[in-house]
A and B are shown apart, each in its own frame.
Chain A
């Protein structure tokens, strides 16, 4: 059982927007502005997409954005493209461990 809770699946049509949630507690997501998001295509290593809740690493399209309210963080993807189809994981610093992850959300582009 993962420390952070994500919906198992999400979907949207090309060009649409989709939001994935990540719910934790005041000991992790709610207590720190150290939430990150990772994209993982099948058979590949995870790739950092968002860090410190809202920041995008160089090279990540601005179609990807992050936010947080209380104990829930969110990843939004606008203008969905076929290559966005992947698994997405949230991560957070926590009181107990340096890093905890969500269970992952499979994003399907219809």
Chain B
């Protein structure tokens, strides 16, 4: 079964950094745009960033620009999200998701929790 597994979440102080990873299995990772979506506790979904198949195009939500960096390693079937200058409002479950067509996230990971607190 196609699978995405996130890791790297945890507790970090405001201003700190974290790297999230998402490992893909049982599909050709390099064929797909990949995304990060987050969900703050008790809140709705927020799209964060995406990256083209070859890594040549990256898009970010305004609140992530300049602080977060999305990257991928197709040889390792892995997606990453580097989080810098973290704020309390970045506290959320972070999901990676595969995109097949625009506006469609067809496969999701189970999520990894990021808590920003002193």
Contacts and interface: CB of A to CB of B under 8 A. Distances in A.
Whether both chains belong to one complex is answered with yes
B108 interface: yes
Interface string B78-116: 000000000000000001000111111111111100000
Q: How many A residues are at the interface, by size bracket?
A: 20 to 34
A101 B104 contact: no
Interface string A19-38: 00000000000001011101
Contacts of A51: 100-101, 103-104, 106
Contacts of B21: none
B44 A91 contact: no
A45 B103 contact: no
A109 B100 CA distance: 32
Q: How many B residues are at the interface, by size bracket?
A: 20 to 34
A100 interface: yes
A104 B45 contact: yes
A100 B47 contact: yes
Given A98-B59, A99-B50, A101-B46, A47 B101 contact: no
Interface of B: 33, 35, 37, 44-47, 50, 59, 61, 95, 99-111
Given A36-B103, A91-B103, A101-B45, 7 more contacts: A32-B102, A51-B101, A93-B102, A98-B47, A98-B102, A102-B44, A104-B45
Interface of A: 2, 32, 34-36, 38, 45-48, 51-52, 57, 89, 91-94, 97-104
